[in-house]
Structure 1
Amino acid sequence: MTIPGVAGRDIADMMAPQGARRQALPGYDADYADIVDYIIRCTHRIWEQKDIGLIETHYSDDCLMHLMTGPIEGAAGVVANTIRTLAAFPDRTLMGEAVIWSPEADGAYLSSHRITSSGTNLGASDFGPATGRRVQFTTIADCLCRENRIVEEWLVRDNSALTLALGLSPRAVARAHAKADRAQNDGQSGDAAPWRAAAMDRIRSLNPTPFPDTAMPTPADATAFAHAVVDQIWNHRRFAKIRDVYSPAAHAAMPGGRRLFGHGEITGWMTALIGSFGDARFVADHVASVEDDAGCDIALRWTMAGTHDGTALYGAPTGRAIYILAVTHWRVEAGRIIDEVTVFDEVALLRQIEGGL
């Protein structure tokens, strides 16, 4: 049975009873029809309806949430983080733009949920005192779901775009965060936090692949296609192949509210990112895809480890080791990417450059 997506659907229609179950959901509450319905409905209940306590029945006690600023463990940590966010943006509303999912082992599902949030900064936040400004920003949450519980989550938010919307400088906010980190470390930059060091070691320990002298797979095999983009274009720097996988009129949204168009600007972004971290190594950590009559949507979660040794994007080189956790969503039609949204936390990245974490 076809699982309805999110595009073009009104929230009122999605919150209405969905009728008979459309997908096997062992252990899930009876009112969830499929994994998309589960993600959209419980997110709406928790955030819009402010039923924050529902997290206790929708996150496992030992859930691990991965962020670029470090892990949050357990449902209690998710509750506390949610309350802090709502205290800073009490009128926050979330518009689900996409839910790209895949079946996983042992009856689990992986959902990659892209959200545009709007709200007014009426309380203090991680970025500073309340500014009273209206903001809009993109978040992607990759959630591993099993028996009505989110058991692991990878959360990325465009915090540089959010910071700019607050009228603040992402670099200044990152510098303040790094200063606080150093204060906890006797004023020294020191080594990366253990969790980040382990994440970078995992990436660096992987054996390099041979030079790829083959054609790119087609998006009909989404997993092979995504892995080939990471391996051939990103890791082996074969930027000429961007023309093979993107439509000439492709649009791309990148962190910090950057908007790109066409082969030239997309290639420019990729070379600038790698030009900032010359030894950058990328890993495709998970791929999900959903097909429809016109094409498919692909969600790629990826990580990067590199050294800040170039000036392309983030200022004078510091030689510091950098870790990125990111999620990319691609819309593919006629065999090429026509739209991309990539999200990672640039404030957390700048915080590393400034000697934090």
Structure 2
Amino acid sequence: MTALGLYGRDISDLLGPQGPRRQPLQGFDDLYVDIVDYIIRCTHRIWEEKDIGLITTHYGADCPIHLMSGEVAGVDGVIAGTLKTLNSFPDRTLVGEAVIWSGNETAGYHSSHRITSHATHLGDGEFGPPTGRQVCFTTIADCLCRENRIIEEWLVRDNAKIARDLGLCAKTLGQAQATLSPAARLGIADWRQRHMDDILSQNMPAFSTPTFPNPADKPEEFAHLVFAQIWNLRRLARVREVYAPHAHWAGPDARYLFGHGEISGWIGALLSMSQGARIRVDHVGAVQEGPYTDIAVRWSLAGRHDSTGLYGSATGVPLYILAVSHWRTLDGVIVDETTIFDEIALWHQLSGGS
């Protein structure tokens, strides 16, 4: 057997007894029967049961956490970040929408966990003093897991949607963060520049018109071609070949788009802010969920804000975006997409913050 997905399963089923182990999980606690069970159950135990100390047995001692706003390393940083979030949103509930995984117990399991959270702003934190307002937002956590521990994590959260729900402005918050003292931003600019240099050093794909494979058969090739053709070569017309006419798209700040025109329009608008922007596909995972093939793509964009576009007038500053896209495909095309990145961190960059 292999891991059971989330498709059509209620939370009571997910958290109930799971029976015998369904997947090889060398070094994992006996409680977990497959990688999906591990991700869902330990997330629930840490966040909703508030067993924060469990992080010490579920994260590697030096685990790096990659965010668009910088990096955190080690168990202590994870615990501190969790406590800070729970101080601001103590009643946070997390609903797992998807766990798209790849790998094995030897190389490590790589999961991409999409979560919708509901919470009330009841404490001080990065969004200011408590407002008592309720928020609803999407997070995607990509985790590399081995022997019961997350040894590396890439985290993207729709912080702009949190700001909107609190009556705040993502742009204003990003600009405020950019005014922090240099000591508070120490190392972030160098870290970001290293990522950007690596992305911009890759060769652009040669102009060609390959046929997109069926994502059910070759999900990784499909994902790489989508970003090479539509994004890096700016062939927005090919959106019609990989998205269903009725495709739904959800993105940062709770944007909702429908169909070829709106989806290709958003991609063009994002690319319009940087003439030389390049996109790199960093990881692809895929699982079968009923009749669908679900694909998780973690990707990065690097460039310079040298053109007026989606995020206002050109500022000339370097740009870096860390994003994760979840695609649900059926009959060879994408029918639903969720793409998340941190727009507050992007406005921070556009405001000249390191």
User: Structure 1 length normalisation: TM-score?
Assistant: 0.96
How far residue 148 of structure 1 moved from its aligned partner, in angstroms, is 0.2
How far residue 316 of structure 1 moved from its aligned partner, in angstroms, is 1.2
- Give runs of aligned pairs for residues 152-167 of structure 1, distance below 5 A: 152-167=152-167
How far residue 238 of structure 1 moved from its aligned partner, in angstroms, is 0.8
Tell me what 1:17 maps to.
17
Tell me what 2:143 maps to.
143
Tell me what 1:39 maps to.
39
SS of the counterpart of 1:106? Answer: coil
Tell me what 2:190 maps to.
194
SS of the counterpart of 2:46? Answer: helix
Tell me what 1:307 maps to.
304
Q: Where do 5+ consecutive residues of structure 2 fail to align?
A: none
Identity %: 56
Task: Work out the CA distance in 2 between the residues paired with 1:83 and 1:293.
Answer: 37
8 Å Cα contact 1:250/1:338 also seen in 2: yes
Q: Where do 5+ consecutive residues of structure 1 fail to align?
A: none
How far residue 207 of structure 1 moved from its aligned partner, in angstroms, is 1.8
8 Å Cα contact 2:70/2:188 also seen in 1: no
Task: Work out the CA distance in 2 between the residues paired with 1:54 and 1:352.
Answer: 34
CA RMSD, Structure 1 to Structure 2 (Å): 1.5
The letter for the 2-side match of 1:208 is M
How far residue 349 of structure 1 moved from its aligned partner, in angstroms, is 0.4
SS of the counterpart of 2:23? Answer: coil
How far residue 196 of structure 1 moved from its aligned partner, in angstroms, is 0.3
1:325 partnered with 2:315: no
Task: Work out the CA distance in 2 between the residues paired with 1:147 and 1:37.
Answer: 14
How far residue 8 of structure 1 moved from its aligned partner, in angstroms, is 2.2
How far residue 276 of structure 1 moved from its aligned partner, in angstroms, is 1.3
How far residue 192 of structure 1 moved from its aligned partner, in angstroms, is 6.6
Task: Work out the CA distance in 1 between the residues paired with 2:107 and 2:154.
Answer: 19
Task: Work out the CA distance in 2 between the residues paired with 1:137 and 1:273.
Answer: 21
1:212 partnered with 2:203: no
How far residue 132 of structure 1 moved from its aligned partner, in angstroms, is 1.1
SS of the counterpart of 1:78? Answer: helix
8 Å Cα contact 2:7/2:289 also seen in 1: no
8 Å Cα contact 1:181/1:356 also seen in 2: no
Work out which of the residue numbers 343, 346, 351 in structure 2 matches 1:349: 346
Q: Which runs of 4+ in 1 moved over 3 A?
A: 181-185
The letter for the 1-side match of 2:336 is D
8 Å Cα contact 1:26/1:107 also seen in 2: no
Task: Work out the CA distance in 1 between the residues paired with 2:235 and 2:245.
Answer: 17
- Give runs of aligned pairs for residues 1-357 of structure 1, distance below 5 A: 1-103=1-103, 106-181=106-181, 193-219=189-215, 220-357=217-354
Q: Which range is displaced more, 43-52 or 215-224?
A: 215-224
The letter for the 2-side match of 1:296 is T
8 Å Cα contact 1:297/1:330 also seen in 2: yes
Aligned pairs, number: 353
How far residue 306 of structure 1 moved from its aligned partner, in angstroms, is 1.1
The letter for the 2-side match of 1:64 is P
Q: 1:283 to 1:111 in 2, by over 3 A?
A: same
The letter for the 2-side match of 1:339 is D
How far residue 208 of structure 1 moved from its aligned partner, in angstroms, is 1.8
Q: 1:192 to 1:56 in 2, by over 3 A?
A: closer
How far residue 18 of structure 1 moved from its aligned partner, in angstroms, is 0.6
How far residue 255 of structure 1 moved from its aligned partner, in angstroms, is 0.5
Task: Work out the CA distance in 1 between the residues paired with 2:198 and 2:322.
Answer: 13
8 Å Cα contact 1:65/1:154 also seen in 2: yes
